[in-house]
Amino acid sequence: MAKKTKSSGGKAEATGSNYETLVAAWYAHSVLLGETAQPPFDLPTDTQIVSFTCQSEAPVDDVNAVTSDDGIIFVQAKRSVTMSSVASSGFAGALDQFVRQITGSGMEHYDRATNAGFRSDKSSGATSK
């Protein structure tokens, strides 16, 4: 798998990282309290979030939360997303990540086709706007 390249810095990235931290904190809260995964995930009622990873190697990489029935919730956290038809836009980049996640090759635990026999695999975008 090719290494990801990250752009460096600036206020926009710092703001996005702060929002990503807030999203990760919600998952940490769920893991620590042993709570079930609440909507908007539409998971079976007894499903719990048991662990999570931030900035994983998965295409949708901001937060990957593992559920009690071995599903994974893939989260891409964006403070805001603007609809755009420009191929290099943040919106297009996020869509590309979701497509690559959903059509995963199966080479790694996280790199499997979403919902391919796993009733609780979910892909989610998180935004504050």
48 pairs with which residues across the strands?
Answer: 36
Q: Residue 91: what pLDDT?
A: 84
- How far apart are the C-alpha atoms of 123 and 29, rounded to whole Å? 20
Q: 54 CB contacts (<8 Å, ≥6 apart)?
A: 20, 24, 62, 63
Q: What is the pLDDT of residue 114?
A: 59
The answer to whether residue 128 scores a pLDDT higher than 70 is no
Give the lowest-confidence range in 6-10, 44-48, 92-96, 124-128: 6-10
Mean pLDDT along residues 12-27: 75
Give the residue-averaged pLDDT of 103-109.
72
